[in-house]
A and B are shown apart, each in its own frame.
Chain A
Amino acid sequence: MKKKNIWMNVNGEWHDLTVTLQDRLIDTLRDQIGLTGTKEGCGEGECGACTINLNGKAVLACLMLSVQADGAQVTTIEGLQNGTDLHPLQTAFLTESAVQCGYCTPGMIMAGHALIKQNPDPDKTTVKTCLANNLCRCTGYEQPVKAVLKAAGEMRRKIK
């Protein structure tokens, strides 16, 4: 199988990786780098559990080849907290009871993360539309939507 060397900055650290042309980004993240916070729920781009940020945008790691991420800046759920300080999104998901089984949570948070970066003051409809890419079977979505709105408010306050 043909292999290729790629560079990827994952959560602030550069990784020198050897991948095959078929390797999916999700497998490289999980199996090679060991970042299993990014989850696979369907492998077909339907459930959003593998949502990560790539150059600041929310992408599905199961639909992307690792070679496509050559040179990219990748942020996964493991890259959000600062030491033991949680990111406002992580805190809001806890305080708003937006987490149940937790399997969709990393994808939801990363979708919210990219959204707030593009739109620091999203309204409820915008958040609902954004999270529509992320399936959740436990919570019924109400709490995750509230959590993203709350985190956005928190982040705006911090910037001020």
Chain B
Amino acid sequence: MTDSYTAVGKSFQRIDGIDKVTGAAKYATDLRFENMLYAGLLRSPHAHAKVTCINTSAAEKLPGVKAVATIFDVPKVVQYWFFLRTEKKKEQMFLHDNIVRFIGDPVLAIAATSKEMLKKALSLVTVEYELLKSIQDPHTALTETKVNIHKKGNIAFKVNKEFGNVHEGFKAADIIVENTYHTSKQKHASLEPIGTCVASFQSNGKLTVYSSTQLPHWSQHYLAMALGLSLNKVRVIKPFTGGAFGGRCGVIHGLEVMCSYLSRQTLQPVKMSFTREEDFSATESRHPMTIRMKTGATKEGMITANKVEILSDTGGYGTHYIGVIADCMSTGIGLYNIPNYSFSGTVVYTNKSPCGALRGYGNPQMNFAQESQIDIIARKIGMDPMALKLKNYRREGEMDPVLNELILSNGLKECLEKGARSCGWEEKRLRQAGNDLIKKGIGLSIMLHGTGAARALPDPGSATIMINSDGTANLHTAAADEGQGNRTVLAQIASEILGIEFDNISVSETDTDITPLDCGTHGSRQAYCGGLSVRNAAMDARQKMLNHAQKYLKVEANQLIIKNGHIIEKSNPDNNISIKDLMQKIQIQDMGVCEQVIGSASGIAPAMPGYYGAVFAEVEVNTQTGRVKVIKLTSAYDVGKAINPDMVRGQIVGGGVMGIGFALTEGLQLKDGHILNPNFTDYRILRSCDIPEIEPIIVESNEPTGPFGAKGIGEGSMVNVASAISNAICHATGVRLTELSITPEQILQSIKNSR
């Protein structure tokens, strides 16, 4: 079957590759327009304060200053897409009142004719604050009643669910393991800083915004709401984007609204670009969590109960806090068939930089805790962790109790078997390798992550395909490509169905005036959800082509197939017409028709299928310095079907490296609300000299609801790396680490304590 594909399953080069290697690709930071103004923000130096007075008169007197917008006058309706349905939760968003809730919270924006003038103007503004008591510790936020970060209090969200009966589950257990885990405030650190946009409001009342957003259509929606414009008057264009990883999934931190407001004041294009320091210190990060977990199992290796209590810290504002904690629950429960499971999650506000979506979306935190617990149980009952996982994982054909959906594909067993064989798991696991100074170990962790958000959110996807008179095609999709390669993958799907060569399919830029509604790029959804939209649009166009061909080939459409750019009668291949000739006829030559074949599709995906993965991490631990060196990752992921294998491997390797960072080096450090490491020297992401060998293994379980069997990969590839590394450290040294990131100090202390 696979062999018969002409485009699917082939590692075509990315369609935007040449633009990227020649420097021609324009990112939002590269855009310049005539009469463009430069805007910037004045940010709060206080973690929690009331703004009582803003004096801008000196700044406004400067000749190059064109507009000023303080938090008192920028539009207040800034909502996130979760809430577009409900009209609730407005009070939790940025810029909504005169309170600043973290160091870096915007207080005002200025637009000026040059960057120098802007800098000068910002320095002339004086702001008076009435200081409020700040809350830094999430546990304090939970109990503090006198200080409320938001009107409704410091608790943003609570969830409690029980499946089965954990009390009974623990009674049935032979051993019970209980630990508390802590995870860090990881940053996206995309190479193009988060927060760049150019807004241009024209005198005809139309607003055009170029923004490096992951959610162009939702940006359009909330801009329209904030500025009181109808949707047809708001055009959002997403230029090339320098990485996202969830960081452009928030409300872009009020930036788009601020720029648009300033542009409306001046009728000039207004550009704002956050600096790297602003990116680190004032844009969203991963939710740090405290996870208490109690897990019970029989000595035969049946996990009988798991009790989870999570305290999640969303910082001063919340965009994704509900989704993130819900994902902790669904991925934790979905992965293993544990009959008794209770989950309680609490999200609190603190006066720290806000948290949002970051690759994995709660799953890496949850996975670190749960996969550590499973590993501890395996050690305690003397069972190979892989055997324990194989005994308890939730199989194909079982129900996912959170999504209430049947699992239609699960290639986890194959991931485990292929990965284990490739890395030599059994042999390495049995052998206590290394010497007294350098101890070697190998650890394993598995994961499940959902594809898309069909069961959780309004998650529309759409596509339009126009077949040209020369037999080529133009695909219009708003499936924003942040670098993963969606546009290439979607062109492959269209090519396969239309029988039109890959090179003859052009894919549009994302532009809400042209591309139909798509909820954007998040949740590893574009190969699957975007793929389904494109598949359906292509099938629509294909059927229309076959219908037209009936007339010229004198056979019913159901007797026709498309192959290599030709429409062919199945039983008589000599009776055929090329797509090009057919399009020429129906568009131009046949005056009675004059029709362009246009295929379209729009809707929500039929499912939210889980994709699975197993990571085997090999490490060396220096017992004198505490330094951990990752030697190799063997990362096997079930992606359903790899539409473009090279791009899938790119996601696995890239996610692997981000996962090592989450395990060992990354995390924002805060003191009294100040971020101490807002730069690449002090916030260490891995460099080329740091990387181990990473062996990506693709497993294809063929998801029946997916386009050509595909499901996701983007986020999952980093989810279970930290837990695999931590388990490997334990295998090497016998010490269990419960806090991310794992520092040499922690390791030395743990080794000391264990003696």
Contact = CB atoms under 8 A, between A and B. Distances in A.
Given A46-B680, A104-B191, A139-B650, A39 B29 contact: yes
A39 B21 contact: no
B218 interface: no
Interface stretch (B45-53, B237-245, B386-394, B620-628): B237-245
A119 interface: no
Most buried by B among A31, A42, A81, A145: A42
Nearest to B653: A140
A77 B687 contact: no
Report the interface size class on chain A.
Answer: 35 or more
B17 A77 contact: no
Contacts of A99: 14, 17, 20-21
Most buried by A among B19, B21, B681, B686: B21
B257 to A, nearest CB: 24
Contacts of A132: 687-690
B399 interface: no
Interface in A39-88: 39-44, 46-47, 49, 76-78, 80-81, 86
Interface string B648-683: 011001111110000000000000000000011100
A37 B29 CA distance: 11
A90 B685 contact: no
B22 A102 contact: no
A109 B22 CA distance: 10
Contact of A138 (B29, B654, B694): B654
Report the interface size class on chain B.
Answer: 35 or more
A102 B679 contact: no
Contact of A95 (B13, B649, B680, B681): B13
Contacts of A138: 191, 243, 483, 650, 654
Contact of A102 (B16, B188, B650): B16
Contacts of B190: 101, 103, 137
A interface, by DSSP: helix, strand, loop or mixed? loop
A56 B19 CA distance: 24
A50 B685 CA distance: 18
A143 interface: yes
Interface in A116-135: 127-129, 131-135
A50 to B, nearest CB: 11
Nearest to A95: B13
Contact of B21 (A49, A93, A128, A136): A93
Most buried by B among A41, A44, A95: A41
A30 interface: yes
Interface string B13-39: 110111111111111011010000000
B691 interface: yes
Interface string B185-219: 00011111100000000000000000000000000
B552 to A, nearest CB: 38
- Which 3 residue pairs across A and B have the least CB separation, nearest first? A37-B23, A101-B483, A103-B242
Given A36-B26, A133-B687, A134-B688, 11 more contacts: A39-B191, A41-B192, A43-B276, A46-B276, A47-B276, A100-B483, A100-B650, A132-B688, A136-B191, A141-B657, A145-B688
19 contacts: A1-B116, A37-B22, A39-B29, A76-B23, A78-B22, A86-B18, A86-B21, A86-B22, A101-B192, A101-B240, A102-B483, A103-B190, A103-B191, A104-B242, A106-B21, A129-B689, A135-B685, A141-B687, A141-B691
